[in-house]
Structure 1
Amino acid sequence: MDSNLEVVNVVGWISYRQELDLSALADTFATRSEITSVTYEPAENHWVQSNFAPDDTYVAFYRSGRCSITGVDSVEQFKDVVGRVNTVMRDLLEFDFTPESKVSNIVVTASLDVKISLEALALQLGLENVEYEPEQFPALIYRASDSNAVILVFSSGKILCTGLNDLDVIEKTMEAFTEKIDLDT
């Protein structure tokens, strides 16, 4: 199944271990060529929204000194963005430490290559681990009892896994899930 997995989003954070002046940060970001857009509207949001060149990666900065990165499609790209963000922030904050960073969630998709009866699958998986309300959401939601994984299954056979931050664990979780289900149902 691993060749079928496609990473579609990697989410993570960086901590600068100090409070950030968001208004000053937004003003400075507006003058930086590495940042393609910046928005700070404290009446609407309590964070600075920015996009970093060259791929317009979304980075949100919070007063707490943390920032979140979302929308990259690999762990390697996440590390690259962390490096670019740290370069800009080092210029602004003049710190002499390596900020802590971590991938907090990786979203992957795959295809089972068959149409699936979600009603039958809900019964097969056991209702205690499943949410399926087709009038509310078009997918079956399976919560793995042994991890933080959440797997969405669509009748088209497309599946999505979220809630984990390690590709090896994701691969094993997806393999265990597909082995657990009877696709002939």
Structure 2
Amino acid sequence: MASPLMGGGGGLSPIMRSDAGPPAGHMEGGTGGPSAETLRFVASIKLTNVVATVNLDCKPDLKSIALGARNAEYNPRRFPAVIMHIKEPKSAALIFSSGKMVVTGTRSETDSLQAAHKYTTIMKRLKCAANCTEFRVQNMTASCDIGFPIRLEGLVMDQPRFCSYEPELFPGLVYRMYNPKIVLLIFVSGRIIITGAKTRRDMDAALEKLHPILLEYRKMPAAPSSVPVKEGPMSAGGGGRGGVGKRKR
């Protein structure tokens, strides 16, 4: 059985255990689609950062931009780009003398593109012949919570090709998925951070594959231990209070 992470290619087969839950890729009702639980999990993704690049079609004068624009700073000894901020959509831009611009800090592709156009407009007002061309999303970061604790030790033992886990250095397990190419940080609490995606579709596809796998490593709560009840002095002997009969008059 090919690993669900390899997209049909060869590779490591997941180790099936007698105590495992539904196998990886388990579908509900035989419909060929993800289960309702998986779809709810995928829908819980929250984008936290989008990084995009833009070609300005010019060689901007960074000193002029830094002097003329609000919320802009330029210290070439520390970093070879102008750092500019805008409040709506909240973001930052790194403007390089080569004509490349990096936009970061937004929480959607639409906001990232809108921010790129706003930065370009600011530069045009400063007599810079900038245009917003070749807009491309380079990285999307998101977070979600699967809703139950995970046995990370079992996951890394069964799938070492995809996982690395060194709790002494970092509390999360690093899960490298190859199709789609995405990195996931998985914590024992069930919290997951997704990075490396270039589209929301890639994120959805990654979590649809990951969810049934993590179900196999769900950490079940320990069964409560039964403590024997010791008999007190009130329950010893005969009936009544402390086994003492009624006094005869």
Range class of TM-score, shorter chain: 0.7 to 0.9
Contact 2:53 2:137 in 1 (8 A): yes
Task: State whether structure 2 residue 212 is matched by structure 1 residue 179.
Answer: yes
Is there any run of 5+ residues in structure 1 with no aligned partner, and where?
31-36
Q: Normalising by the residue count of structure 1, what TM-score does the alignment of the two structures yield?
A: 0.87
Work out which structure has the larger RCO, using CA pairs closer than 8 Å and 6 or more positions apart in sequence: 1
Deviation of 1:116 after TM superposition, in Å, equals 1.4
User: Following TM superposition, where does structure 1 have runs of at least 4 consecutive aligned residues deviating by more than 4 angstroms?
Assistant: none
Deviation of 1:142 after TM superposition, in Å, equals 0.6
SS at match of 1:51: strand
- Across the aligned residues of Structure 1 and Structure 2, the Cα RMSD in angstroms comes to 1.7
Q: How far, CA to CA, are the matches of 2:189 and 2:160 in structure 1?
A: 21
Higher helix share: 1
1:70 alignment counterpart: 104
Contact 1:105 1:164 in 2 (8 A): yes
2:229 alignment counterpart: none
SS at match of 1:119: helix
* Cα deviation digits, residues 136-174 of structure 1 (max 9, x gap): 111000111233200000111000111111111210111
1:93 alignment counterpart: 128
Q: How far, CA to CA, are the matches of 2:218 and 2:181 in structure 1?
A: 27
Q: Normalising by the residue count of structure 2, what TM-score does the alignment of the two structures yield?
A: 0.66
Matching residue within 194, 204, 207 for 1:161:
194
Q: How far, CA to CA, are the matches of 2:116 and 2:77 in structure 1?
A: 28
Is there any run of 5+ residues in structure 2 with no aligned partner, and where?
1-40, 220-249
Larger radius of gyration: 2
Say which is worse superposed, 50-59 or 168-177, in terms of deviation. Answer: 50-59
Q: Which amino acid aligns with 2:129?
A: E
Deviation of 1:179 after TM superposition, in Å, equals 2.0
Contact 1:12 1:105 in 2 (8 A): yes
Q: How far, CA to CA, are the matches of 1:20 and 1:99 in structure 2?
A: 15
Matching residue within 164, 173, 181 for 1:140:
173
Contact 1:114 1:183 in 2 (8 A): no
Contact 2:146 2:190 in 1 (8 A): yes
Q: How far, CA to CA, are the matches of 1:15 and 1:53 in structure 2?
A: 22
Q: Which amino acid aligns with 1:118?
A: L
CA separation of 1:69 and 1:93: change in aligned 2, threshold 3 A:
same
Q: What percentage of aligned pairs have identical amino acids?
A: 23
Q: How far, CA to CA, are the matches of 2:202 and 2:90 in structure 1?
A: 29
Q: How far, CA to CA, are the matches of 2:122 and 2:176 in structure 1?
A: 39
